[in-house]
Amino acid sequence: MGLVKEIIDGSKTLLSGMKVTWDNFRKPPVTSQYPIEKIEMSEAFRNVIVLIEKEDIGSHDCIDCKACERVCPSFCISLDGERPEGLRRKRATEFMVDFALCSDCGLCLDVCPTDTLGYSKVHDEAGYHRSDFLYDLIEPWADKEEAARKRLKEIEAKQAEERAQRAAARKAKKAVKKPSRKPSGAR
């Protein structure tokens, strides 16, 4: 009798497990078949920082202000830049980030005056050596730099022209408003 009870209890356990398996078999899969299926990351995903392309210039817009370097609590960012001939603003020539030290805090993104920093959507960064995580963020933009500088010169020339027109309009408006003053004894 004990053996029959064990067989019945074991069968009940097996059937309840099979029911759970059958119920989950009908549901859509929860996991992805990585690396065959690429995972779409959400906007809230934080990973390594990257320079974002600005559509108006076709490149990044890092002006080497060093705000990100100063605010970084991990001291993992170092910048270098130059003022190209014919431009008012500097351009970064080197933007080194040691992602082995980076804590993905996002402070560098918050202080960037040109909003040119963002998070990468690549989630599978891996390496064997610490040097595998030392990146120059400017390097991928090297082939676009000359065209970006030309476009920036055009934008700055247009802005200067608009400022000159506004100044001339203000000057003309002041000239019209100025009343002519007569000497106090004159009639």
* Of 76, 103, 79, 73, residue with least CA distance to 92: 79
For β-strands 134-136 and 117-119, DSSP reports them as unpaired
Distance CA 162, CA 156 (A): 10
The pTM (predicted TM-score) of the whole model is 0.67
Each residue's pLDDT tens digit in the chain (187 positions)? 788 899 999 999 999 999 998 988 888 877 888 778 877 777 778 888 999 999 988 899 999 999 999 999 999 999 999 999 888 889 999 999 999 999 889 999 999 999 999 988 887 778 888 888 999 999 999 999 999 999 999 999 999 999 999 999 988 888 887 665 656 655 5
The helix, strand and coil proportions of the chain, stated in percent and rounded to the nearest 5, come to: 40, 15, 45
Going from N- to C-terminal start, the domains of the chain cover 49-149
CATH 3.30.70.3270 assigned to domain 49-149? The reply is yes
Q: What is the pLDDT of residue 172?
A: 86
Q: What is the pLDDT of residue 182?
A: 59
Q: What is the pLDDT of residue 178?
A: 65
Distance CA 55, CA 179 (A): 48
